[in-house]
Structure 1
């Protein structure tokens, strides 16, 4: 997405919010594991030592918690790149909130925040995989993202 007006917002969902989350909060790990486990994400099996190394590798990553009626429902993590570009590094809902009609508005909130994280953002981007939730790519496309590159590789 290369312009804010490319975002096609989903209908709002009352009670769904996106709030800053301290990078040292235990929710950062908890939410990533809960989001990723059903899809085989590597984060789901990291040890405490691996999480410590991971945090050190990404010192500038910022985290925002998706909440529904004040309950942790998901996570958005952003990497700020030169250019200036913002990568949505992680986006997702925990399993108990999947299938409840929250994904479109959750992504809308996540993309709006991405445009506000650094001055003069020129591009917002993310990666997805066939191993992600089946609704991920359709949601990204409905919100206005377009495919930039497709890579095929063997799954580990």
Structure 2
């Protein structure tokens, strides 16, 4: 069996799945994670976390709609993938420029945050303050658009 790199973007590559799950990719074919670099916020692709459901969801969703409205008016594209882990992995793989999550659940975010940071992303709360596990939300972005996204969300 062999593992051949398959280009996704100029900054990344992924290994084709192998027939046997017992074998991983040889180290020379492992994906190299590098966050995408949009130089203009207007060209940025931003993923937005999902909406709340259940008790008090109306209040939470009103805030999320306001944030989404600001983003949609200022960035290239807004995507909603439905999974914090996928959002953050796609940021690390260079498919997104920023991830906005108006919640902070360690079981959803922590692994993706670690991968994003390893790929060079900046991770804070939406107000730009240092990220903490007990904080209210998550903003992960490439360094070139991070500060602009903070300003957009103010």
Q: TM-score, normalised by structure 2?
A: 0.29
Bigger Cα Rg: 2
Q: Which has the higher contact order (CA 8 A, sep 6+)?
A: 1
Higher-strand-fraction structure? 1
Q: TM-score, normalised by structure 1?
A: 0.28
